[in-house]
Structure 1
Amino acid sequence: MSSNPINTFWCSLLELNRTLKSTLCLLSTEAEVPPSAVSLVFKMEHETSMKINCVAEYLGITIGAASNLLDRLEEKGWTQRLRSEEDRRITYVSLTPQGMEQLLAWRSRFADHAEAIFGRLDPQRLEALEGSVTDISRYLSEYNASYEDRKNTK
């Protein structure tokens, strides 16, 4: 039985996803926080502030779970919550200067790990792989957007 190259590639991507998540879990244990906390801190680098419900949506968790995670990050001094001036029911979360320092420390450590993992690759091969990963990410994003559009028009 011949295998379908697309199915084989899809299985490879799923395995890569599992392995990457496992690696990120190992790296996040250094900071004694869950991988979702690391992901959130990196996301917040590009957001001045986020509503707690947006944090929950981004991480794919409940608002209660997001609030618990934010409690842990506040205990470490990495985030702060601020009530909206316009609507006191709305709470925003943002990185503190200490949170930004932590992000930069993680970025440095992750770069060291990335060097150890991918440093064996020829630079030209690495560049080609990066281009392929960028393309795959774009294809998946486009597919997801069109899927959401189709779902919402039903």
Structure 2
Amino acid sequence: MEEISKGIRIIKILKKVMGTIKQSMRHECHGMQLTGPQGMLIGILSHNKEKMKVSDLSENLGLSNSTVSGIIDRLEKQGLVERTRSKDDRRVVYVSVTDEVRKKHKQHFNEIEKRFEDIMSKGTPEEIDKILEGLYTLEKVIDRQRK
């Protein structure tokens, strides 16, 4: 019974943390006229500074390939991202932000990063290390469950 209670507490904490992150993202993305997932996708692409495979974007966002493809479809129609097929394997599709987006939205993404840095600056170096250690441990436990 105690283990279930701990699991539920972990879920509640993660839900609260993700809610805070989503709220911050929603605020910044609204200014760019993007949904949260669209903003996150563009943020990942902009931060990466190179084209990425749809499957890698899906993994980074924690969304299915089909969901990410739908997001990309809408962003492509708006002229915000571009798709290119691999010359070696036509099944592989790469996505990148347009140069205009890279310039135009850089300030917004810098603001998002600054907000998270401000939040994390409230913690001591020891607390930040504990958070990272705990999250890495959680990731390992979840990966074990998947296998």
- Same fold? TM cut 0.5: yes
What's the counterpart of residue 137 of structure 1? 132
**2:79 alignment counterpart:** 77
When Rg is computed on C-alpha atoms for both structures, the one with the higher figure is: 1
SS at 1:129 equivalent: coil
Q: 1:104 aligns with which of 92, 103, 106?
A: 106
Do 1:78 and 1:102's aligned partners in 2 also have CA atoms closer than 8 Å? no
Could you tell me how far apart the structure 2 residues matched to 1:38 and 1:130 are? 30
Distance (whole Å) between structure 1 residues aligned to residue 58 and residue 13 of structure 2: 29
Q: Which runs of 5+ in 1 are unaligned?
A: 1-5
| 1:27 counterpart = 2:28 | yes
TM-score by length of 1: 0.68
Number of aligned residue pairs: give it: 137
Q: TM-score, normalised by structure 2?
A: 0.71
- Report percent identity of matched pairs: 20
Q: Contact 2:51/2:94 (CA < 8 Å) preserved in 1?
A: yes
- Partner of 2:105, secondary structure, is helix
> In structure 1, what residue type is equivalent to 2:123?
L
Task: Select the structure with the greater relative contact order (CA < 8 A; seq sep ≥ 6).
Answer: 2
Maintained 8 Å contact 1:83/1:89: yes
Superposition RMSD in Å: 3.1
